[in-house]
A and B are shown apart, each in its own frame.
Chain A
Amino acid sequence: DIQMTQSPSTLSASVGDRVTITCRASQSISSLLAWYQHRPGKAPKLLIYKASSLESGVPSRFSGSGSGTEFTLTISSLQPDDFATYYCQHYNTYSRTFGQGTKVEIK
């Protein structure tokens, strides 16, 4: 089974900061990767699909990059609504696998 590992687990940042979260796959997954934002008590929200495609309605400060085994989610200028937990997700025909999550906290 393919494992997805995110780093860091927790990130402290301030409004306006540039933030980068990394997701590594245990083997090559091409670009079969999505990113989600999850706030407490809310439904998760799709941000990025196919590694770098921005979901409709998602602010352009969010971007994704990478292919193969290493991927990044970047928030160019952190906003108050962005303090949340972020997950990467790999998908194939038989399963979907989430990373363990990265919590973005207020510094």
Chain B
Amino acid sequence: EVQLVESGGGLIQPGGSLRLSCAVSGFTVSSNDMSWVRQAPGRGLEWVSVIYSGGSAFYSDSVKGRFTISRVNSQNTLYLQMNSLRAEDTAVYYCARDWTYYDSGFDPWGQGTLVTVSS
């Protein structure tokens, strides 16, 4: 069964750091493109970052220079390292398998993990 499980969210002060994890079962993370997407309270979906199977990574302008996407093949896990966190980074963060290179979409998605940036 294909499953993505995010973890690592929580309450963090502005300026702090947090690392989110996305544990994957049912397919190999390193052989697939993977994205992070977030949804702030009362707002819509916002794409955050992608890592391609070849290792290239891209970021939205809102997180560029602060967030880093990575993966650990032996753990079959995707990560999002978030530094210099701001109140506006408060959101539910989702990971998803990214099929857009093949002209498809994001499928499947995890259930999300909540990050709250507040003092």
Contact = CB atoms under 8 A, between A and B. Distances in A.
Interface string A43-56: 11110111001010
A96 B51 CA distance: 12
Contacts of A34: 100, 104-106
B78 to A, nearest CB: 15
Interface residues of A, number: 30
Interface residues of B, number: 25
Interface in A1-55: 1, 31-32, 34-36, 38, 42-46, 48-50, 53, 55
A56 B79 CA distance: 28
B19 to A, nearest CB: 21
Interface stretch (A67-75, A76-84, A87-95): A87-95
Nearest to A103: B44
A87 B45 contact: yes
B110 interface: yes
Interface of A: 1, 31-32, 34-36, 38, 42-46, 48-50, 53, 55, 85, 87, 89, 91, 93-101
